[in-house]
Amino acid sequence: MTQPPGPAPQADPPADVAGSSVGELMSNVMKDVSTLLRQEVELAKAETKAEAAKAAKGAGMVGGAGFAGYMVVLFLSVALWQGLENVLDGGWAALIVAALWLVVGAVLYATGRSEFRRINPKPERTVETLQRVPDALKGERS
């Protein structure tokens, strides 16, 4: 025998909100949103700091290598200039060495510029999680 349909049984409210007023619930939601936003700011700071550390490390290494390379290049340039003076006039020899270093400098500048362009200042994970916040506030899952 079947029971006649009656009113649907009422589900008990979840234990963590039972007996809470709407004001208390809204206060808890606002506190959670505030905590979430503070955590996102901290994540953005950490990501930005990590990228800045990478850039500083790279710049320091390039600077140190540049100085050491400068000393080597200086003496090699003088030796090349002296060697060319055995074949050409001194002025032409100096001009050839200077033109050679102009080309090398242009190549190094272009390479260094492309390295700096690969640095990503945008905190990717922070942007990704912040895009999920509106859906999370609506109760949706991504």
Q: 59-82: per-residue pLDDT in tens? A: 999 999 999 998 998 999 999 999
Q: What are phi and psi of 32, to 5 degrees?
A: -65, -40
C-alpha pair distances (Å), 69 with each of 77, 81, 114 = 12, 18, 20
Measured between alpha carbons, how far is 134 from 40 in angstroms, rounded to an integer? Answer: 14
Q: What is the pTM of this model?
A: 0.39
Answer whether 83's CB lies under 8 Å from 95's CB.
no
Measured between alpha carbons, how far is 122 from 113 in angstroms, rounded to an integer? Answer: 18
Measured between alpha carbons, how far is 100 from 95 in angstroms, rounded to an integer? Answer: 9
Give the chain's end-to-end CA distance (angstroms, integer): 45
**Mean predicted confidence (pLDDT) in 114-118:** 88
Length of the chain: 142
Average per-residue pLDDT for the chain: 84
The candidate with the shortest Cα–Cα distance to 51, out of 41, 40, 59, is: 59
Answer whether 67's CB lies under 8 Å from 124's CB.
no
Q: What are phi and psi of 46, to 5 degrees?
A: -65, -45
- Asked if the model's pLDDT at residue 19 lies above 70, the reply is yes
Q: 99 is written with which tokens?
A: 């033109």
